[in-house]
Structure 1
Amino acid sequence: MRLRHKPFANDKLLEYKEFVVEKPEEFKGKWQERFEKEQPLHIEIGCGKGRFIIEMAKRFPEVNFVGIELQTSVIVSALEKQIEEQLPNLQLLQVNAKDLMDYFDDGEVDRIYLTFSDPWPKNRHEKRRLTYDSFLTVYKAILNNKGELHFKTDNQILFEYSLTSFSKFHAVLEEVYLDLHNSEIEDNIMTEYEEKFSKKGNRIYKSVITF
């Protein structure tokens, strides 16, 4: 999908420094300083336009959230939602997921969400998949001992690949849903893509792992 260029995006991200972390390396090990209260820290990698992370922050005020998105023209939409909501337990971060150990200390994060990540279907792009071995190494480092990785997708091939990747990494598969929307799970908050794909009849897959 081609991203629509938004020439105002960079300036807007710089304008709202109370919501967008400009120098995240300075908060490594000190993320609680960005929030009003010291609470469990959950991050979403690839937060897109922010629907999921905004709704999570609204529903769970007892948790601090960081939405992470690399694309400027996408994360600015999440920022616009946050400007409207003014949620004290949400921060936004524009960085590459492979570099998260530069911004989060060992064991600093309580939960990671991967929601409808790019499947990168071509074999030559395997290393770009967010469930590839090198990314799992990053997640394991920044999660605490009880930390969880929550992964959702509508792409069956990516889901099967990810389960294999988790197994090879010796992660513990805590939960698996092969048809999330027809399961007994409660309080499922959908992303924009999840709603779009589920309306088309696509099955939604989810897994929860620990390291």
Structure 2
Amino acid sequence: MNALGLSVPGCFVEQDAVGEALKLIRHAHCRKISIYFPNDFWCINNSKQDLLEIFPSGGILTGWTPIDLGPVSLKELSSLLSICKKILLIGSIKFNSVKEDTVGASELALMLQKISMTGCDVMVVGNAACKAVARTSCSISQYRMFKNASVVWEFLKGRILPGVAALDRAYPHDLDWNIAFPDPSQPLIIDIGSGNGLFLLKLARRWQNYNFLGLEINKKLVRCCLNNVLQSNIKNGYFISTNATSTFRSIVSSYPGYLILVTIQCPNPDFNREEHRWRMVQRMLIEAIVDLLITNGKVFLQSDIEAVATRMKEQFIMYGKGRLVVDGDENMGWLEENPFGIRSDWEQHVIDRGAPMFRIMLRKVR
């Protein structure tokens, strides 16, 4: 409401969020999605706590604070919700705790009860909202209720939560390989954390007799990569948005051909703290790679942080069940050059500023 120029009490405004609010409004307008806001409020006098008045949303007087939805807003809300198939109510349904039971909170809870009985899917998020609904409803089993609103916000922001990762493991990723590749019997090369996909796409152009799969958790990057595949008419490249740690085994185990190479390059290069950069490589992922890799298949690891590269190497050796060895002479140390002759964007950036890269190739033995 503040972004639209309406008068809003300062205690309810996040000044830094106005720009983001305007972006959402413009985005909704472009997609012809309506955004509604209350037309009136019950307000309490700041100096006389027992004095209540109804004000229009754009005409709240100084010294008055909104505490509840007004009758006009409730009537319009009832009309809007009556045609909904799914309702997600997040947060408190009253402004503060001046009154334990407010008219708006009770009426909204009654609306939800009535609508849920018609088959509408109602989800209630937040401790205060759950309490209000529980006090009014004769059966709370008809709702899906989540008291911890912060967890839901994190999920809606796209963060990967531990419980969601567990679901990834419980429900295998089903992929039709014939749609991904014209010839799914070709040897498979996988880049974990494929980013913008340019490294993988360059390899795919050079090595036509191999299939290339990028696993990347960022959905926007994956959409861009898939668009690049179509525009470039690349037949042997494909990308999936997924958490590779939890889904690698279920995805790759159904591949008709052989897995011959897995690359992990500069995990999370945007993180400022080095200790975060190795989190991509976990025991579950390593064991899945080792199990599915063909004998003499390889794992390529590299990072611009020596401690990160060393840790990845040690973890693969530790959890590799004795089936991974350094390819070539272990006493030679880090590889001086990229063995593929193609650099990732981050690798090229590091090289351009004169910094070293720490690379190693591991090979699976019987």
Q: Same fold (TM over 0.5)?
A: yes
C-alpha spacing 1:54/1:199, structure 2 compared with 1 (3 Å): same
2:205 corresponds to 1:58: yes
Residues 113, 63 of structure 1: alpha-carbon distance in 2 compared, 3 angstrom cutoff: same
| Structure 1 pair 204–86 and aligned structure 2 pair: CA distance change class (3 A) | same
RMSD of aligned Cα (Å): 2.8
Report what 1:129 is aligned to: 280
Q: Compute the displacement of 1:144 (Å).
A: 1.9
- For the 8 Å contact 2:278–2:308, the answer to whether it is kept is no
Q: 1:75–1:33: structure 2 CA closer, same or farther, 3 Å change rule?
A: closer
Offset at residue 59 of structure 1 (A): 0.4
Q: CA–CA distance in 2 between the matches of 1:177 and 1:96? A: 31
Runs of 5+ consecutive residues of structure 1 not aligned to the other structure: 1-6, 8-22
- Number of residue pairs matched? 183
Q: Are residues 100 and 166 of structure 1, via their aligned partners in 2, closer, same or farther at CA, if it must alter by over 3 Å?
A: closer
Deviates most, 31-40 or 78-87: 31-40
Larger radius of gyration: 2
Query: Structure 1 residue 36 and structure 2 residue 165: aligned?
Result: no
Of 197, 200, 207, the residue aligned with 2:353 is 200
Superimposed CA distance per residue, residues 76-97 of structure 1 (whole angstroms, 9 cap, x where no aligned partner): 3322321221111111111111
Could you state the TM-score of these two structures normalised by the residue count of structure 1? 0.74
Percent of aligned positions that are identical: 19
Runs of 4+ in 1 over 4 A off after TM superposition: 119-123
User: Distance between the aligned counterparts of 2:201 and 2:303, measured in 1?
Assistant: 19
Change (3 A) 1:102 1:138: same
Corresponding residue for 1:110? 260
1:24, CA displacement in angstroms?
A: 8.0
Listed one character per residue, the Cα deviations across residues 172-206 of structure 1 (whole Å, up to 9, x for unaligned) are: 1114663534xxx6642111101111111111121
Q: 1:168 is paired with a residue of what secondary structure? A: helix
Other-structure match for 2:233: 86
What residue in structure 1 maps to residue 55 of structure 2?
none
- 8 Å Cα contact 1:49/1:76 also seen in 2: no
Q: What is the alpha-carbon distance in structure 1 between the residues aligned to residue 234 and residue 197 of structure 2? A: 13
What is the CA distance between 1:103 and its match in structure 2? 1.2
Question: In the alignment, residue 59 of structure 1 is paired with which amino acid?
Answer: R
Question: Using a 3 Å threshold, how does the CA distance of structure 1 residues 114 and 186 change in structure 2: closer, same or farther?
Answer: closer
Query: Which 10-residue stretch deviates more, 106-115 or 70-79?
Result: 106-115
| Partner SS for 2:200 | helix
Cα gap change, 1:116 to 1:122, in 2 (>3 Å): closer
Deviation at 1:32, TM superposition (A): 5.7
Distance in 2 between the 1:86 and 1:180 partners? 33
SS of aligned partner of 1:146: strand
Report the CA distance between 1:128 and its aligned residue: 2.2
Higher relative contact order (CA 8 A, sep 6+): 1
**Is 2:303 the partner of 1:164?**
no
The alpha-carbon distance between structure 1 residues 126 and 137, as it changes in their structure 2 partners (threshold 3 A), is: farther
Is the Cα contact below 8 Å between 2:277 and 2:308 reproduced in 1?
no
Superposition TM-score, scaled by structure 2 size: 0.45
Report if the CA contact (8 A) 2:278-2:311 is conserved.
no
Q: Contact conserved, 1:57 with 1:64, CA < 8 A, in 2?
A: yes
Q: Which residue type is aligned with residue 188 of structure 1?
A: G
